[in-house]
């Protein structure tokens, strides 16, 4: 029997090889960024940061202390993806960011993801679903208001499908995860996908597309990887998809799903190779109001043209411009994303800050002994309204008056995970070494300043959270074993004076890699 098994492995060697998908929350997300910094030969991503990174070629690589060469171009019929088993526990309330389809309620959340990837002629495929269990234990929810379900966010008068808790019971769910099928011809591709995408250089938050929710089901058309020209590298894609609603939104109506379309463009000039510029747009509307002409909405409609400032259009629009200045030799990058919401006017003029949100950040990469790397990151995110909102109103980011479910999928925000109207500062130190990684992180979040300044207006009653977290991951043979321990202190939760909570969270994960 043992001899037969060895023969089968030997026969399958030409067919099976190793591939890589960047699962949300995986240690490989940050490691991939360092690979791109440390290896000039890597064809780095521009403004679109996909989870499936097989298009990016690394034939020769100088720095790879994990010895994985994880971004080798896909050219095999079948490739095995890493198998990852993750477990997370929250002691006091639901808390989790940038974890894809997962929802980390109070108690235990356990997930399993993995799959296969391959290429047959012009056809490329990735099947990397996730199945997870959530204990979904009971915890205090915000006082119910308006037409909101008791399980939904209570401070937007039923204007956003933003779930606090997914019902009363524990549950198990299956999600397609990082899966897709696509046709590729040279540098052009047409695909059907549910993979997570991040638009722009934001590392903790991104304004329009991030890892905070499950990848939305979509069709895309555009570049498979950046196209090289004499004046620089270009990338771009157009997307059409569906935003699915949760079952825990409104008591009075079922708003159904939403039609969504978006585009992302990136440019890296040859005469200024340290700089990358990006432009992103997204529109969404109630799916039952869809018309074929809506497929062309990305080509125009920058302003609210209904003639009545008190009435909004049937679409909600979000747009942003991005900048990343990367100095590989110095090991330093600075980045920014500036966005406009809800037909909030142009990026210039008398009040360019109207309906704005922004992200500012930088990372410093420090070489330590024996090719180890320390990455230091600071990122500030502002999703709150500026001063001119006093006399020129608009909907808070991700919520909407007409498209009532807002910019969410299955009750989770697709963009900045801190949530509508919120402000955040993040400090992180990532230390990568051949045997694994050590991460230390501190973050503060002030939740929904828009609601606070509109309604609460009490300097002692901000809903504020401080978090301190440590993660350690180590290779043991072909396994990467990770532990996570953190503490969050939340003050005046739900804007209730002295409603303070201490949430202890910890995690344990195992990743089986087939190339070590």
Q: d(Cα 242, Cα 261) in Å, to the nearest integer?
A: 8
Is the predicted pLDDT of residue 308 greater than 70, yes or no? no
Is the predicted pLDDT of residue 250 greater than 80, yes or no? no
For the whole model, what pTM was predicted? Answer: 0.91
Q: Closest Cα to residue 43, out of 30, 25, 27, 59?
A: 59
Is the predicted pLDDT of residue 161 greater than 70, yes or no? yes
* DSSP type of residue 412: E
Band the pLDDT of 145: cuts 50, 70, 90.
Answer: confident
Residues 420/449, Cβ–Cβ less than 8 Å: no
Q: For the chain, how far is it from start to end, CA to CA, in angstroms?
A: 25
pLDDT at residue 386 in the model: 83
| Distant-in-sequence, close-in-space partners of 207: CB < 8 Å, separation ≥ 6 | 199, 200, 280, 318, 320, 337, 339, 357, 358, 359, 383, 397, 415, 416
pLDDT > 90 in the chain, percent: 68
pLDDT tens track for 405-435: 899 999 999 999 999 999 999 999 999 999 9
Tell me the two tokens of residue 250.
């409104």
Band the pLDDT of 346: cuts 50, 70, 90.
Answer: low
CB atoms within 10 A of CB 349: 8
Q: What is the mean pLDDT of residues 442-467?
A: 94
Plot region of 167 (φ>0 → left; ψ -120 to 50 → alpha; else → beta): left
Is the predicted pLDDT of residue 120 greater than 80, yes or no? yes
């Amino acid at each position: 029997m043992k001899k037969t098994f060895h023969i089968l492995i030997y026969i399958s060697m030409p067919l099976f090889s190793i591939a890589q998908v960047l699962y949300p929350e995986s240690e490989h997300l940050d490691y991939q960024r360092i690979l791109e910094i440390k290896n000039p030969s890597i064809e780095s991503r521009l403004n679109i940061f996909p989870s499936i990174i097989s298009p990016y070629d690394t034939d020769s690589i100088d720095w790879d202390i994990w010895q994985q060469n994880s971004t080798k171009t896909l050219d095999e019929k079948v490739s095995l993806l890493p198998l990852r088993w993750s477990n997370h526990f929250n002691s006091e309330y639901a808390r989790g960011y940038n974890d894809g389809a997962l929802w980390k309620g109070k108690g235990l959340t356990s997930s399993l993801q993995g799959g296969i990837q391959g290429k047959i002629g012009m056809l490329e495929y990735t099947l990397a679903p996730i199945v997870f269990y959530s204990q979904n234990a009971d915890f205090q929810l915000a006082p119910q208001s308006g037409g909101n379900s008791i399980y939904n966010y209570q401070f937007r008068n039923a204007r956003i499908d933003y779930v606090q808790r997914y019902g009363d019971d524990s549950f198990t769910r299956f999600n397609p995860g990082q899966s897709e099928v696509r046709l590729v011809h040279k540098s052009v591709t047409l695909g059907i996908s549910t993979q997570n995408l991040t638009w722009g250089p934001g590392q903790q938050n991104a304004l329009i597309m991030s890892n905070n929710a499950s990848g939305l089901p979509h069709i895309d058309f555009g570049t498979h990887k950046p196209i090289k020209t004499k004046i620089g590298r270009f990338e771009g894609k157009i997307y059409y998809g569906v935003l699915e609603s949760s079952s825990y939104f409104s008591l009075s109506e079922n708003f159904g799903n939403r039609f969504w379309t978006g585009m992302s463009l990136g440019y890296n000039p040859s005469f200024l190779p340290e700089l990358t510029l990006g432009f992103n747009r997204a529109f969404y509307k109630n799916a039952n109001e869809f018309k074929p002409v809506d497929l062309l909405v990305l080509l125009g409609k920058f302003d609210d043209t209904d003639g009545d400032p008190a009435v909004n259009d049937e679409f909600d629009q979000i747009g942003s411009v991005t900048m990343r200045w990367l100095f590989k030799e110095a090991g330093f990058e600075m980045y920014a994303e500036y966005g406009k919401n809800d037909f909030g006017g142009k990026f210039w003029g008398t009040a360019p800050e109207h309906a704005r949100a922004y992200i500012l950040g930088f990372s410093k990469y420090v070489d330590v002994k024996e090719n180890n790397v320390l990455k230091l990151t600071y990122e500030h995110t502002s999703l709150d309204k500026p001063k001119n909102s006093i006399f020129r109103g608009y909907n808070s980011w991700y919520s909407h008056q007409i498209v009532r479910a807002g910019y969410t999928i299955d009750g989770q925000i697709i963009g900045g995970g801190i949530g509508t109207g919120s402000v955040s500062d993040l400090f992180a130190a990532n230390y990568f070494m051949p045997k694994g990684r050590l991460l230390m992180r501190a973050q503060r979040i002030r939740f929904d300043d828009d609601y606070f300044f509109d309604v609460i207006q009490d300097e002692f009653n901000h809903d504020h959270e401080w978090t301190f977290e440590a993660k350690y991951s180590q290779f043991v043979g072909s396994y990467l074993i990770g532990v996570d321990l953190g503490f969050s202190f939340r003050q005046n939760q739900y804007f209730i004076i002295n409603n303070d909570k201490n949430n202890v969270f910890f995690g344990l994960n195992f990743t089986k890699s087939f190339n070590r």
